[in-house]
Chain A
Amino acid sequence: MANTHTGTGAQSETLSTNPVVVVRGIGQLGRSFLREVGAMFWFIAHTLDETIDRVRQGRVPFRAASFFQHTERAGVESVPLVGLVSFFLGLTMALLTGYQLERFGTERLVPGLVAIGFTRELGPLLTGIMLAARIGAAFTAELGTMKVSEEVEAIEAMGIGPLRFLVAPRMLALFFLMPCLSTISNIAAIFASSLVCRAYFNMAFVYSIDLVRDALLIRDIITGILKSLMFGLIIGGIACYRGLTVNGGAAGVGAATTSSVVTAITVVIGVDTLYNTIYTIFFPT
């Protein structure tokens, strides 16, 4: 009846200006978001549970060879990418801040600035984003393909816990590699900034390194490492979870891989922001 003024019923439905519809939509989004988060925690908890269960039976949770295979692929082969990107970013950052600070005669702050920026923030964040794209995607695609071709089910049918067998070594590899790779990222950026300082601002190499040493606090380093470990767990967890919950064949694997990268990067940035906020509230300066 009321629709006669605004047009046909169908039109007013597509506009969905009805607040009830909008609220219901938000509610549904929120609910599926919470469901996803819950499922993720469940997934990580079950992986831990299966792994610990195995250790309690007095057996190794997975073979060292399997772990090192993943660390090699995820870690060693990521070094060039992480190193190169961080090097260039460090270079840019030193150049841009250097020219600004030079006007006030404080360009010797540059090495410390880059060092703190990278150790606390950019190192873990950049490494996380790169690993999510490079390794998270690979894990999702790999596990997704195994799921689609019934390999995961076959493993389960043999009486082997697929979470322990497939997920645990991958997550552990990422967990331990993240701090190593973000350290490499930090070193590359600091090295790049010292190069810039020497070439443009006339600072000796050792002098820049001294400045870095003065500026960096233990607490910056610990923050960086904590973040890296957290990001490793997040990326590994999301990648494996998305992989093992694939359905719908090859298209499903593609969709899951995209979603894995997007989710992992978003969550990493979100958690980073949350961490920084909490940190600055509880430990100001």
Chain B
Amino acid sequence: MTAPSSHVAELRDVKMQFDEKKVLDGVSLQVNPLDRLVIMGQSGSGKSTILRLILGILQPNAGSIFFKQFEITRLRRRKLQQVRRHIGMVYQYSALLSSRNVRDNVALPLEELTDNSRDEIDEIVDAKLDLVGMKDSKKLMPSELSGGMKKRVSLARSLVMEPELILFDEPVAGLDPVIASVIDELIISLTEKSQVTSVIVTHEMESAFRIGTRMAMIYQGKIIEDGPPEQFKQSNNPVVAQFLSGSTEGPILEGSQDAIATK
């Protein structure tokens, strides 16, 4: 019932399945304060599902999920909404509201959830947009932005409520290597500057090792390795080794649909 409040977030023996498909099969994971926890795994292994579970958008079939002392799985709607204010989320495709310009997108949580005056909101929005280097694009609509710019706006939006935990879903997927490095640097500097904990889902190895202070690898519904980056580099778990090297030889493809393509 009670979680040790030393963890920012915790999953305890979480099982999750969609219809017949088992996605998570007993996942336990702790996120400690100021961690930058990188979660790696194949496409479809349930990485985004873990983030949605932490936000309480999905309910697990079994197990419990904590954010600080709150058990997400047992909260009622209103309390859950309050807890979510302390968690920021950056979506893979940014999920900016296409009917609002950059300024209004970033201001949205402040307008809806705080009693700040318009001037105060403008000040906060300016400050956050400045942090991500998008101050000059306030009037642009999301459709006028590139993928990297959208990511940065989305990052600014996740920061305006001063969250204690930020979740990133594939922050650099689909970006060119230079912009990807920019986003990586931003994540590192912002989380350090604002002293926030973060969970980053990615399968870009370079970015994972650059950002992560801790890593976890999910395979077939379980966490198969969890530790600092050095431990991952030296891991003799064949799955981890294959994933890091990107080789087609190894246990990952065996018996999977994708294996057919390699034969």
Contacts and interface: CB of A to CB of B under 8 A. Distances in A.
Interface of A: 50, 53, 63, 145-146, 149-151, 153-161, 165
Interface in B96-123: 96-98, 108-109, 111-113
A150 B95 CA distance: 6
A158 B108 contact: yes
B231 interface: no
Given A53-B78, A159-B84, A160-B81, A153 B95 contact: yes
A156 B57 contact: yes
Given A149-B98, A151-B98, A161 B81 contact: yes
B146 interface: no
- Binding site secondary structure of chain A: helix
Interface stretch (B59-67, B85-93, B132-140, B179-187): B85-93
Interface of B: 52, 55, 57, 77-78, 80-85, 87, 89, 91, 93, 95-98, 108-109, 111-113, 161
A146 to B, nearest CB: 7
A145 to B, nearest CB: 8
A158 B57 CA distance: 11
A160 B113 contact: yes
A157 B55 contact: yes
Nearest to A159: B84
A154 B109 contact: no
A153 B98 CA distance: 14
Contact of A157 (B84, B93, B96, B98): B84
Contacts of A151: 95-98
A170 to B, nearest CB: 13
Contacts of A153: 52, 57, 91, 95
A154 B85 contact: no
Contacts of A50: 77
A164 to B, nearest CB: 9
A-B interface, 6 closest residue pairs, ranked by CB to CB distance from nearest: A159-B84, A154-B95, A150-B95, A159-B81, A159-B85, A157-B89
Nearest to B78: A53
A44 to B, nearest CB: 16
B111 A63 contact: yes
A146 B97 contact: yes
Contacts of B89: 154, 157-158
B85 A158 contact: yes
B97 A158 contact: no
22 contacts: A50-B77, A146-B98, A149-B93, A149-B98, A151-B95, A153-B57, A154-B96, A157-B55, A157-B84, A157-B87, A157-B89, A158-B89, A158-B108, A159-B80, A159-B81, A159-B82, A159-B83, A159-B85, A160-B81, A160-B108, A160-B109, A165-B112
Contacts of B80: 159
A118 B84 CA distance: 50
Nearest to B82: A159
Nearest to B97: A151
B225 to A, nearest CB: 28
A177 B141 CA distance: 29
B57 A160 contact: no
Nearest to A49: B77
A268 B171 CA distance: 46
A146 B100 CA distance: 12
Given A154-B89, A158-B108, A159-B113, A149 B95 contact: yes
A235 B78 CA distance: 28
B19 to A, nearest CB: 13
B97 A150 contact: no
Contacts of A158: 84-85, 89, 108-109, 112-113, 161
B82 to A, nearest CB: 7
A157 B95 CA distance: 11
A49 to B, nearest CB: 9
Nearest to B100: A151
Contacts of A155: 97, 108
A158 B113 CA distance: 9
